[in-house]
Amino acid sequence: MSEKVRLTCPMGRKRAELGGGALLLPVGAAAAGLAGPWGLADAGAWRWAVVALGAAALLAGLLLLVDGIRLQVPVLEVEDGEFRYIRGRYIVRIPFADVGSYYVLPGRTRSLGLCDVTGRPRQFPSVQGRRASRPYLPLTGLTSPAKVEEFMRTAGIPPRDRSLTSGR
């Protein structure tokens, strides 16, 4: 296979954190600025409560933006006889000839399992850098199994046959 086939997983959490952070930053800045020492004369204790809440909203918005920017979106690629899974600095490269079949694990966060040509699940090192290995590659919760199946069909990788009557 010489052409490039690519699937970028949608990242709803990344969008939510970026949107929430972008909303909280101006709200917090406005609340802290309007009620601060330069605004709302003689508001008493309420003024400092509003300043504290504005500062907390400002800090929360900043933390959400930073965390949203740091989140990595998983990407599946097949190009030049190689299957690749990329998530930030974590990259899995498998020769295309060594991929026999695939399966999609259901759940809140979808995962992609790959099998070798004999049908045994492949083991992958953990994405978070832990020492444990896993038989799947994590995708995102918004990734549709139908999109993954279409990507694998386009790449030429068959689904895993789990029937008891296969081969007859």
Position 157 scores a pLDDT of 87
**Residue range 63-120, pLDDT digits in tens:** 999 999 998 889 999 888 899 999 888 888 999 888 889 998 877 778 899 998 888 8
Say whether pTM exceeds 0.75: no
Domain ranges across the chain: 10-70, 82-155
In three state form, how does the secondary structure of 67-124 look? HHHHCCCCEEEEECCEEEEEECCEEEEEEHHHCCEEEEECCCCCEEEEECCCCCECCE
**Residue range 32-47, pLDDT digits in tens:** 777 766 665 555 677 7
List Cα–Cα distances, 33 to 22, 59, 166, in angstroms. 17, 14, 70
